[in-house]
A and B are shown apart, each in its own frame.
Chain A
Amino acid sequence: MAPGSDRSLSRRDNALFLVCVALSVVMLVRPDWGNRVTSMVRVSVLRPFLWMQQRAEESRTSRAAFDRLRAERDSAAYAAQFLPSLRAENQRLRSLLGLGKRLTIPYVPAEVLHQSVPTDGRTLILSAGQNQGVQPFDAVVSSAGLLGVVRWVEPDRSVALTWAHPEFRASAFTQPGQVFGVIGPALQVTGSEQLLQLKGVAIRDSVPIGTLVTTSGLGGVYPNGIPVGTVFGQATEETGWERIYLVRPAANPEEATQVLILRNPKGTPVGQAFVADSAP
């Protein structure tokens, strides 16, 4: 090959490299463009591959997780033995207080399709989408607690943003104590454990170690009472206007294999939760 031709090939290689880097940087800077492109890639080129992965994921969970599921079923069956009496008691108390029926939240089960990149736990591809009734901002939970929220929905899949994502926030409160705050990931560079932070706690409130933190239901995205984690320490806060507590998460997105997508109760009628108007 002539040296000139080799040089031109080398120039072409460098040009192609620079174009690819530039396109990547554009997507990093303008995530809305990147979202559009990646969404198109997911529903077209990657669709058969994701179908393949879903079958593999189902096959794995049906075998390897059988014992775990059986143990969970046994625990659930044991707890369910007390359910009729609890339900009757709850109904009696609600009628004494003049409350209507408790709202039930419909849900969609889904498999988690884990990926090989190290940022996998920050977002999760779920095997249920628009066709199963999933909508953006539906809460995603596992048997242990809150995992995140549905961000993008496609016909057969959805993408959930988990609590490990830097943009995740949820209103939460402690039980007992009723101390309110905003839960978000504890962003760190050198840490080794995935942690959450309960921020915005009033300086007059203090939370003991071991206190359970659950979603408060404020904001209308997450229903009230989903376990988020347990307080295990206090972080330093420089301005001195609030307390920040470190929370050990209840559910780990990287280990989640099966999840429940809680359908947003916005679409369900809430009338049954209120007592009918007694006025004639």
Chain B
Amino acid sequence: MIQIRADRSRLWIVLGLLAVLHFAVRPRLGMSSVAPDFLMLALLLYAIRSRPGAAAVAGFLVGLAGDALAPSRIGAGALAHTVVGYVAAWGRAVFFPDNLFVNGLVIALGVWIRNAIVLIASGPAAGGLTMALLVWSPLQAITTAFTAALVLVLFQRWLDIRLEA
């Protein structure tokens, strides 16, 4: 029991670190539409270690924060993060192995699906959806997946993950 608690508190430390990175480091990277989304990464790391219900609630809270920060269409972010959190948690229960590539792929897919739901729920805009869905979202998904790989390698003991090549 003590071991489980220790693992859980380490997970929370990593998630807290990612939240700080999102607000303190991400703005310094520039290119906001391509820079890695640390909050989304934190949500997915939490989701694939939790039950789907808890992941959905975490997704809703992260999405609500996203809606508060970019209130273009309030509710779109909450809906997108809820769906992605829930699906990621279910997916983990079904097929995720402890493989760096698969983890990265799941995180990249999560970011892209989140962006797609947000864009579709927000309706048409001045720039259209094509560039956002086919260029900027995949680029953000890739940078987030690379960051995820780095985090998983650095904190694999804390996240209790045995990575295969």
Interface pair B60/A166, CB less than 8 Å apart? no
Given the interface contacts A17-B86, A53-B23, A56-B25, does A25 sit within 8 Å of B68 by beta carbon? no
Q: B94: shortest Cβ distance to chain A, in Å?
A: 13
From 171 to 194 in chain A, residues with beta carbon under 8 angstroms from any chain B beta carbon are: 185-194
Q: B149: shortest Cβ distance to chain A, in Å?
A: 18
Q: A35: shortest Cβ distance to chain B, in Å?
A: 6
Which B-chain residue is minimally distant from A193 (CB atoms)? B127
Of the listed residues B23, B30, B127, B132, the one surrounded by the most CB atoms of chain A closer than 10 A to its CB is: B127
Q: A262: shortest Cβ distance to chain B, in Å?
A: 22
Interface pair A122/B28, CB less than 8 Å apart? no
Interface pair A53/B136, CB less than 8 Å apart? no
CB < 8 Å neighbour of A42 from B20, B69, B73, B132: B69
Residues of A within 8 A of B40 (CB): 116
From 253 to 280 in chain A, residues with beta carbon under 8 angstroms from any chain B beta carbon are: 254
Q: A87: shortest Cβ distance to chain B, in Å?
A: 37
* Among A67-75, A97-105, A157-165, A235-243, the stretch in contact with B: A157-165
Interface pair A188/B82, CB less than 8 Å apart? no
A38 in the interface (beta carbon within 8 A): yes
A7-35 vs B: 1/0 string, CB under 8 Å? 00100111111001101111111010011
B115 in the interface (beta carbon within 8 A): yes
Give A188 to B71 CA distance when docked, in angstroms. 20
Give 6 nearest A-B pairs by CB, closest first: A191-B128, A27-B75, A34-B74, A28-B75, A13-B53, A16-B53
A2 in the interface (beta carbon within 8 A): no
Q: B26: shortest Cβ distance to chain A, in Å?
A: 7
Given the interface contacts A52-B24, A118-B136, A119-B76, does A194 sit within 8 Å of B126 by beta carbon? yes
Residues of A within 8 A of B32 (CB): 114-116, 120, 254
Residues of A within 8 A of B122 (CB): 119, 122
Which A-chain residue is minimally distant from B116 (CB atoms)? A118
Residues of A within 8 A of B127 (CB): 121, 164, 188, 191-195
A60 in the interface (beta carbon within 8 A): yes
Chain B interface category by residue count: 35 or more
The interface residues of chain B, by DSSP majority, are classed as helix
A211 in the interface (beta carbon within 8 A): no
Which B-chain residue is minimally distant from A59 (CB atoms)? B28
* Among A43-51, A129-137, A201-209, A218-226, the stretch in contact with B: A43-51
From 26 to 43 in chain B, residues with beta carbon under 8 angstroms from any chain A beta carbon are: 26-28, 30, 32-33, 35, 37, 39-40
Q: B156: shortest Cβ distance to chain A, in Å?
A: 25
B65-84 vs A: 1/0 string, CB under 8 Å? 11111111111111100110
Interface pair A13/B56, CB less than 8 Å apart? yes
B144-158 vs A: 1/0 string, CB under 8 Å? 000000000000000
Given the interface contacts A20-B57, A187-B125, A192-B131, does A117 sit within 8 Å of B118 by beta carbon? yes
Residues of A within 8 A of B78 (CB): 20, 23-24, 27
B22 in the interface (beta carbon within 8 A): yes
CB < 8 Å neighbour of A35 from B71, B86, B115, B123: B71
Interface pair A123/B130, CB less than 8 Å apart? no
Residues of B within 8 A of A191 (CB): 127-128, 130-131
A125 in the interface (beta carbon within 8 A): yes
Q: A238: shortest Cβ distance to chain B, in Å?
A: 17
Residues of B within 8 A of A122 (CB): 70, 72, 122, 125
Interface pair A46/B68, CB less than 8 Å apart? yes
A196 in the interface (beta carbon within 8 A): yes
B140 in the interface (beta carbon within 8 A): yes
Interface pair A115/B66, CB less than 8 Å apart? yes
Residues of A within 8 A of B24 (CB): 52-53, 55-56
Interface pair A188/B74, CB less than 8 Å apart? no
Interface pair A118/B37, CB less than 8 Å apart? no
Given the interface contacts A27-B78, A28-B79, A56-B24, does A118 sit within 8 Å of B118 by beta carbon? yes
Residues of A within 8 A of B125 (CB): 119, 122, 164-166, 185, 187-188, 194
B49 in the interface (beta carbon within 8 A): no
Give A206 to B3 CA distance when docked, in angstroms. 75
Which A-chain residue is minimally distant from B26 (CB atoms)? A116
